[in-house]
Chains A and B, each alone.
Chain A
Amino acid sequence: MSAAKNLRQPMAMGVVPGPFHDRIAPLNHRQGWMNWMGIAAPTVLDTVEFEYFAIRNQATVFDISPMMKYRISGPDAETVVNRLVTRDIRKVGPGRVTYAIWCDEDGNVVDDGTIFRFADGTFRLCCQEPQMAWLMDVAHGFDVSLADESADVAGLAVQGPTSCAVLKDMGLAGVEAMKPFDIREFRVKSKPVTVSRTGFTGDLGYELWMAPDDALTIWDHLMAAGHLRGVKVIGYEALEMARIEAGFLLPRVDFVSSQTHLRPGRARNPYELGLDRLVHLDKPHFNGRRALQRLSQTRPARKLVTLEISRDKPAHHAYVYHRGKKEVGFVTSALWSPTLKRNIAYAWVDAPYCFDGKDLSVEIYLQRELVWQRRMARAQIVDRGLFANPRRTATPPSDY
């Protein structure tokens, strides 16, 4: 591993600077930093509204280098990846990416992430939480090599309606031909860049992967090319708004990994999370298959649902009630969506209320000049992923 040369000295708060830090820091007027896997990541650079609207109206750049990245390669790589995740990876061809979850022996979700298939026997797993120990367990007895390349690959998410145009201006000829979840190799100023048409915003967007040593060169080139397309560097909070609109889940926020929960009964399975479509019980044995087979035949005890809530105040940390009296769940993520003009939230709701969804309300607490107000707002269950714009999948994308 070449991790050692990429290690940097800690900053004051105990995190280390990421590969784009020297460029992000001067732009971070608020000096809002968070600890993302030990790396300094911006929360908000100036205002969250400005950054959010850039995602939906222009192009944004977000440093995703702190994501955990694992390379799985060798003759048995496909077998091992298929053994790891619940979906059938054999249906994902080389040069493609897919979203997947993986489960423990009880069928509870360990983590979710994206799987890049570079070639027949070469994969990259990209996820939030460290997974090396889990991968080693799953791969034991198979002919594969595993490598943690988190520190060896820098990543930038370029998301928003003008993202494709920015990349084209940057010299990525043919990027417009990439379909969603495609992977292509490019060169920028003779530096290799891997581009995937993926993202966490539900919008048109791409992710650029490169060596940390090339990170600043490519950043500068991207920023110069994107100047006239309104390219804007954003922080985590704006992305968080976009991901709720887009219907993506966040471990530790919307569910707890089966590897980190302490209290019994806190882990969650794919059926409870509403991720049934990611579980392919008809493929050869994979981790948790026997438990999932049983779970698939029973009704979940609760579900993570998307609620649309009346009026405009986001239902952060709210309880969910049935007929205003019986407490039947709680909210994990909440947002007043500026684009949709709808008040939405993810909530865990017990059976059977999560199925019929009738007579639900949420209890929202509002503090106005120190005085707390309690507001019961009507809620109804809607499909997840309310922001679904055709530009996300259009190929080639329009030249905004």
Chain B
Amino acid sequence: MTWDAIVIGAGHNGLIAAARLGQAGKRVLVLEAREAPGGLMAARGGMTVAMLPTALNADVARALDLHRHGLSYGAPVATLALGAGGAVRISGREASGAGKAVAVAYGALHDRLTRQAAALGRMLMKTPPRLRDGGAGDLIALARMGLGIRLLGKDEMRDLLRILLSNIWDVLNDEIGDGPLAAALAMEATLGGAMGPRSPGTVLPLLYRMAGRGRLRALGGPDAVIAALVRAVGAGGGAIRTGAEVARILVGEDDRAGGVRLTTGEEIRAPLILSNAHPRRTLNDLLGVAHLDAEDARRARLMASTGMVARLDFALSGAPVADGGMAIPSGERLIVAGNMAALETAFNAAKYKEIPDRPVLECTYEAGRGLLSVNAQFVPCEVKGGWTDKARATLEGNVRAVLAGAMPGFQAMIAGVETLTPADIEARFGLPGGHWHHGEFRVDQMLMMRPFGGAAQYRMPVAGLYLCGAGAHPGGDITGVPGWNAAGQALKDGRAAK
């Protein structure tokens, strides 16, 4: 069997890249180290790390015809920000339960940020332009973004440029004041990364998340997304091999990537390799520093990638009720933080490698399975004293206490708990820092700087090797865009070489 391309890792981006290559007539082999495809979305063999696939890019889903492969979409998920004495329900520009003045201010802020995000929007989804040695197309792409920003009008352009590198703490305090609503938005700006609301550059991630024009919420959760993507790969003639862990990317005499070696010693050849692994793992471990210039090896080594999210699943014996008496609705997104100050306090502890007393939580409750899934934010991957049983118990206890504060009677309902610390995620998925986004999502690691300067545009230093995971532009959040764009870039380069 000969292959036109190998994709390392059957996470959603790897599957999307494989499906796009398949559509273009390439024979693709996807190699997955674990027992089931899906990466952080895989449910089999453990709990799903990525539990809320609500950001799938509509253009990608349409191009891959995922509907035909069995995926259906629901209304955008609403967010409930739980606070003392009640909840704020956020859906688009509406915020009910926040008080009238705050709701009005939020509506205006939402509209403005949405316009500003749209001005950046095209840029946030396309292959980023090269700043150095770029061609005419790169200049046009830059000019187009500049024009988009200029067309916002003088005041809004000025406002965008003012807040772009600013921190979400200042922006939200200026516009809506601190509280459960601000906490939910600040959570959106910092989720998955090692930045608190006061860290500079936290506005850009929020704009990025708002810019995903046509973000689809897949019905059926992570399982349904992966099942549809697996079918899409199959429809393109691609094959997926699970339990096949890549040990090395092989580089030929011609200095091109020419295949992979598995941990079993088996070698598989293909002229095109796409890696859905973390950039550091792809370059310094799989490719090997011997094939890299010292500068790239250093950038991969030092790129910020500190995971800060622990995953906990609580099996419940009853239906949880929020403080104030509201039953927790099934399938919606809950933010348990209280206010932005709580986020910053939790982040402070994590900075010093401590487990925060009160982690801030993103949760979702599934009534059918009696399961409350929790992302506990600002839990450091590397904790002082290591992840001992005591440390795990502390984490679980702290999360339970936060939940019990927002949902009276919660403690008594717990029938079981399963925990993945960031260190567990790192070990289980070969993901440096246990970082969801394969690298910190901050301004010096975004756009043409993602994963680091000189390595954007999906091409890796060795010809024939591409990065197709969340470490590539535009980044994490299960949009599928990195995988889609990487495959596109590889196909374009292949045509150019002919």
- Chain A residues with CB under 8 Å of chain B are 79, 83, 104-105, 134, 137-138, 140-142, 284-285, 287-290
Contacts and interface: CB of A to CB of B under 8 A. Distances in A.
B47 interface: no
Interface of B: 255, 284, 288-298, 301, 454, 461
B301 A140 contact: yes
Contacts of B295: 104-105, 137
25 contacts: A79-B290, A83-B290, A104-B293, A105-B293, A105-B294, A105-B295, A105-B454, A134-B294, A137-B294, A137-B295, A137-B297, A137-B298, A138-B294, A140-B294, A140-B298, A140-B301, A141-B284, A141-B288, A141-B289, A141-B297, A142-B289, A284-B290, A285-B255, A285-B290, A289-B293
A287 B293 contact: yes
B297 A140 contact: yes
A284 B296 CA distance: 17
Contacts of A134: 294
Contacts of A288: 293
Given A140-B289, A141-B284, A105 B255 contact: no
Contacts of B301: 140
Contacts of A105: 293-296, 454
A289 B294 CA distance: 11
A287 B461 contact: no
Nearest to A110: B294
Q: Which of B294, B295, B298 has the most CB of A within 10 A?
A: B294
A290 B255 contact: yes
Given A79-B290, A104-B295, A141-B288, 13 more contacts: A83-B290, A104-B293, A137-B295, A137-B298, A140-B298, A140-B301, A141-B289, A141-B297, A285-B290, A285-B292, A289-B255, A290-B255, A290-B461
A138 B291 CA distance: 11
A137 B300 CA distance: 12
A285 B298 contact: no
A142 B297 CA distance: 12
A288 B461 CA distance: 11
Contacts of B288: 141
A94 B297 CA distance: 29
Nearest to A76: B290
Contacts of A140: 289, 294, 297-298, 301
A289 B251 CA distance: 15
Nearest to A264: B132
Nearest to A105: B293
B76 to A, nearest CB: 44
A97 to B, nearest CB: 24
Q: Which of A141, A289, A290 has the most CB of B within 10 A?
A: A141
B464 to A, nearest CB: 13
Q: Which of B290, B296, B298, B454 has the most CB of A within 10 A?
A: B290
Contacts of A104: 293, 295
Contacts of B297: 137, 140-141
Contacts of A142: 289
A138 B301 CA distance: 12
A220 B414 CA distance: 86
B109 to A, nearest CB: 40
Contacts of A289: 255, 293
Given A140-B297, A140-B298, A290-B255, A285 B291 contact: yes
A225 B371 CA distance: 91
Q: Which 5 A-B pairs have the closest CB atoms?
A: A141-B289, A105-B293, A137-B294, A138-B294, A105-B295
Contacts of A141: 284, 288-290, 297
A137 B297 CA distance: 8
A134 B454 CA distance: 19
Contacts of B291: 285
Contacts of A290: 255, 293, 461
A266 to B, nearest CB: 15
Nearest to A135: B294
A83 B284 CA distance: 15
A77 B296 CA distance: 21
A138 to B, nearest CB: 4
B351 to A, nearest CB: 26
A285 B288 CA distance: 11
Contacts of B298: 137, 140
Contacts of A284: 290
A141 B255 CA distance: 20
B302 to A, nearest CB: 10
A197 B105 CA distance: 80
Contacts of B461: 290
Contacts of A285: 255, 290-292
Contacts of B255: 285, 289-290
A287 B294 contact: yes
A158 B83 CA distance: 81
A288 B454 CA distance: 14
A368 to B, nearest CB: 48
A142 B291 CA distance: 12
A116 to B, nearest CB: 22
B258 to A, nearest CB: 14
Nearest to B285: A141
B309 to A, nearest CB: 29
Contacts of A79: 290
A113 B396 CA distance: 58
Nearest to A134: B294
A287 B295 CA distance: 9
A140 B293 CA distance: 11
Nearest to B298: A137
A88 to B, nearest CB: 15
Q: Which of A83, A105, A142, A289 has the most CB of B within 10 A?
A: A105
Nearest to A103: B293
A284 B290 CA distance: 9
Q: Which of B295, B298, B301 has the most CB of A within 10 A?
A: B295
Contacts of B293: 104-105, 287-290
A341 B174 CA distance: 78
Contacts of A137: 294-295, 297-298
